[in-house]
Amino acid sequence: MPLAIGIDLGGTNIKGGLITEKGEIKSQTSIPTLVHEGPDAVVERIVRIVNDLRSDQPGAIAGVGIGSPGPLNPVEGYIYTTPNMPGWENYRLKDRVAEKTNLPVTVENDANCAVLAENWLGSGKGSRTMILLTLGTGIGGGIIFDGKLVNGSVMSAGEVGHIVINHNGPKCGCGSHGCLEAYCGAAGIVSRAWELIEKPGTVSVLREKIMNDRTKLTPAIISAAAAEGDGVALSVLRETGKLLGIGITSLVNLFAPEKVILGGGVAAAGETLFHAIREHVRRYAFAPASQDVEIVPAAFKNDAGIIGAAGLYLIKTDTK
Amino acid sequence: MPLAIGIDLGGTNIKGGLITEKGEIKSQTSIPTLVHEGPDAVVERIVRIVNDLRSDQPGAIAGVGIGSPGPLNPVEGYIYTTPNMPGWENYRLKDRVAEKTNLPVTVENDANCAVLAENWLGSGKGSRTMILLTLGTGIGGGIIFDGKLVNGSVMSAGEVGHIVINHNGPKCGCGSHGCLEAYCGAAGIVSRAWELIEKPGTVSVLREKIMNDRTKLTPAIISAAAAEGDGVALSVLRETGKLLGIGITSLVNLFAPEKVILGGGVAAAGETLFHAIREHVRRYAFAPASQDVEIVPAAFKNDAGIIGAAGLYLIKTDTK
């Protein structure tokens, strides 16, 4: 029975898992990335994880899938630019790990690995066309169109967080203005909440929760306050849902996906957020996709990265 | 040598062409649609065109491709809704034409037929991933991703004119707000130009050209004035290019296409418009796609519809 190793290369930790062809985790491990030590040292740690995972495994390993921050070149297996990992530009990650492990290696965008995991075994199981948005500090995610990852001919694509929803909007980290991420990334959400909290006369448990300190305000705290019925927090979630709905409406008009899946910390806000998103999409996107698309939470929390990365060697390719 | 018939079913005229496997037009014809007479009468006219075209043709006809306004269901061959063709909802266009001609029939979105023609023989020849925007009264077009038309699982997709560029923007014909079409369809362009013309003290040849009558103002007149060096017209084209650039930036971030092709009357404005679009995309979309994507005029003017529709039976399917 084939096995593969999935590596989730993050800015803080490297996670690795030995994964079965059914997507089960046989064993897993995690060590600090220590990015500042540079790519050669990080490759050493990846190799150590690979060797640990296969040491108690007599059978064949089909390959090592590495999910990495992008944008990257999945064919050649290197990263173009890495804002959070200086010194990695054009570093031949795939070749280095392959040399040192004598295993086939594939490098893929971490967000794409998450999409693959959801499509293979999660909330998007069986969907031919689906979109994942991972709502965290930024908005990542990716697209599977007609059974294939949307990577584009030049391998920077599927940047679902960087569609514009208001060209007069706030500056985005990517240099553009009014991207979905600028509104619905953590900073955008916090900033809308703070505006409300600051208003004289506003009553909200959020003030106490953060002791009037803006820097303590996070999407998680807002979600918790909403769960307690706090009006300000609920209103922030509804507005965030509407703004996400605007971006998702554009995506539905382009792809008519069967499913839109929301993962990441912000998606944990739950039904208030999802209801506002669905309401906007049902009303403003083109039928029939607007009515048929299911907008649902992601199935995986933390393991999508290693499972999807291993999936690069385990998922039966659709030859249709 | 296989031949096919391409039909371009428009609100005003039905065009038909007998097309060779190389995409050459052997003969063509056009008759008024007379939409108000209802779908059965229009089908009769389509059948007449088909019979005319094949009458002087002894060889086999591979099939009849019909490009029709959408959104439609290409599998079953009927139109969902047709704002400009009342009474056509769920009418079985494909089956009716097939019954009466004894030929295989396929119905496809007219914009998709145009994309196929550009991809087969026009400005997008050989591109695996490309986007066509047809700039006219509305903004149509479509997407070929990795060699396949983007139709989505439920067949309303590729609506490139209905991605939002400003959710606080003007109401769009589709019911949403601030779609690309609301800004860069003919009405949006005219309305920006009129705002400038109306301003006291504005000097522009446009005033004379339209004899101060707003209803006479069209994108074609604006383009003509720009070609004469009129400052107001040039400024309108540059602003239109920037707004198109914002929408195209979202598309490039999603698809990383090799080419973005602009057709339709507004695209005839030429270099001023294209320059503004390219400048925005190069600056704001993600590299490397932002630098590599070619943004070029469509090759076909009026024949894309019949050629692309016939192409449904003539283009060699990519089996990669």
Residues A178-234 have pLDDT tens digits of 999 999 999 999 999 999 999 999 999 999 999 989 999 999 999 999 999 999 999
B250 closest CB neighbour out of A148, A163, A168: A163
Residue A313 in this model has a pLDDT that exceeds 80? yes
Strand positions, DSSP E, B136-183:
139-145, 148-149
How far B64 CA sits from the closest chain A CA (Å)?
25
Q: What are phi and psi of B251, to 5 degrees?
A: -65, -40
| Residue A152 banded pLDDT, cuts 50, 70, 90 | very low
Q: Which two tokens stand for residue A82?
A: 């890495």
Q: What is the mean pLDDT of residues B86-104?
A: 92
Between positions 266 and 305 of B, the ones with CB within 8 A of A are: 283-289, 292-293
- Prediction pTM value: 0.89
Q: Tell me which chain A residues have a C-beta less than 8 angstroms from the C-beta of B128.
A: 153
Tell me what the pLDDT averaged over chain A comes to: 91
Measure the CA–CA gap between A224 and B201, rounded to whole angstroms.
57
Give pLDDT, residue A84: 64
* C-beta atoms of A157 and B80 within 8 A: no
Give pLDDT, residue B318: 53
| Residue B90 banded pLDDT, cuts 50, 70, 90 | confident
Pick A49 or A36 by higher pLDDT: A49
ipTM: 0.87
| Residue B176 banded pLDDT, cuts 50, 70, 90 | very high
Q: Which two tokens stand for residue B170?
A: 């003007």
Pick the closest to residue A302 from A142, A117, A129, A143 (CA basis): A117
Q: Is A129 on the interface with B (CB under 8 A)?
A: yes
| Residue A69 banded pLDDT, cuts 50, 70, 90 | confident
Give pLDDT, residue A115: 94
Pick the closest to residue A111 from A233, A253, A263 (CA basis): A263
Q: What is the mean pLDDT of residues A65-71?
A: 86
Residue B68 near residue B110 (C-beta atoms within 8 A): yes
How far A172 CA sits from the closest chain B CA (Å)?
10
Number of helices and strands (H, E) in chain B? 11, 12
Q: Beta-carbon neighbour count of residue B20 at 10 Å?
A: 14
Chain segment A237-266, per-residue pLDDT in tens:
999 999 999 999 999 999 999 999 999 999
H/E stretch holding A46: helix A39-55
Give pLDDT, residue A319: 37
Q: Is B253 on the interface with A (CB under 8 A)?
A: yes
How far B279 CA sits from the closest chain A CA (Å)?
13
Q: Which residue has the tokens 């003969």?
A: B27
Chain segment B188-208, per-residue pLDDT in tens:
999 999 999 999 999 999 999
Measure the CA–CA gap between A64 and A98, rounded to whole angstroms.
8
Measure the CA–CA gap between A30 and B190, rounded to whole angstroms.
59
Q: Which two tokens stand for residue A65?
A: 């899938």
Residue A154 in this model has a pLDDT that exceeds 60? no
Pick A249 or B11 by higher pLDDT: A249
How far B206 CA sits from the closest chain A CA (Å)?
28
Residue A110 in this model has a pLDDT that exceeds 90? no
Measure the CA–CA gap between A128 and A147, rounded to whole angstroms.
5
Residue A263 near residue A118 (C-beta atoms within 8 A): yes
Q: Is A112 on the interface with B (CB under 8 A)?
A: no
Q: Which two tokens stand for residue A220?
A: 């998680």
